[in-house]
Amino acid sequence: MKTILIVTGIALLCFNASSPVCFGQKADEPIPDAVIAKSIAENPANHAIRIIAGFHYFDSGDFVKAVENFAKASQLTPDDPYDQLWLYMAQLRQNPKTPDSTIKAFLARKESQEFVYTDIRILTGELTAMQAIEKARVSKDLGNLCEAYYYSAQRLLANGDKFKAREYLVEAIKTKKEKFWEYKSAVAGLQALK
């Protein structure tokens, strides 16, 4: 999913002399809150900073800040399905009764065969976890499988089912798609459930 975005985003942040994100930062280490805040303050309209901040806050369980940053990212790139998906998912984790009208309007406007649209349908409840997982298996793409398990787990967590969500997070990790943010987030999510 966001493999290219992560690599590109972190590279952009590192090459941006005014952005403190990445100074002395190792790729797999969490970025400190102070570094994220300073980067946003210095360049509030930078999409890469906003999406990375959204991931950071989501994985740390701060869904209010995650929503804020994903909302800004989705305003900056309104046609990016992953921005829309992560915004909706953060909203669901903040409030499981979040209406799905905005994400469904996005689906109606931007429908395609990319697997991300399957991921969105998992979150809206249009597809069950089993349907999405089977679709991912048929595709023979471990990235799709990682995503199907991960987003199914997030839907379950929004509904309060930590037991089954934990199982799906473990399955997402088993795909070994380490460059996918869903993989990284599954690791963080599993830690949070301990």
- Domain ranges across the chain: 3-18+45-192
Angle, alpha carbons 86-95-164 (nearest 5°): 75
pLDDT attached to residue 80: 94
pLDDT attached to residue 183: 96
d(CA 51, CA 34): 16
Q: pLDDT band for position 30 (50/70/90)?
A: confident
Class of residue 23 by CB neighbours under 10 A (exposed 0-12, middle 13-18, buried 19+)? exposed
Q: What is the mean pLDDT of residues 154-167?
A: 96
pLDDT attached to residue 27: 52
Whole-number Cα distances in Å, 28 to 39, 63, 121, 133 = 18, 21, 30, 27
pLDDT attached to residue 1: 52
Q: pLDDT band for position 23 (50/70/90)?
A: very low
Task: Report pLDDT digits (tens) over 85-130.
Answer: 999 999 999 999 999 999 999 999 887 889 999 999 999 999 999 9
The phi, psi pair for 160, rounded to 5°, reads: 90, 10
Output the average pLDDT for the chain: 87
Query: Is the model more confident about 115 or about 22?
Result: 115
Judged against a pLDDT cut of 70, whether residue 56 lies above it is answered with: yes
CATH topology of domain 3-18+45-192: 1.25.40
Which stretch of DSSP H or E encloses residue 8? helix 3-15
pLDDT attached to residue 77: 94
Q: pLDDT band for position 31 (50/70/90)?
A: confident
Q: Are the beta carbons of 54 and 90 closer than 8 angstroms?
A: yes
Which stretch of DSSP H or E encloses residue 139? helix 129-139
pTM of the model: 0.85
Instruction: Report the candidate in 56, 127, 68 with the shortest Cα–Cα distance to residue 94.
Output: 68
Q: Are the beta carbons of 104 and 120 closer than 8 angstroms?
A: no
Judged against a pLDDT cut of 60, whether residue 12 lies above it is answered with: no
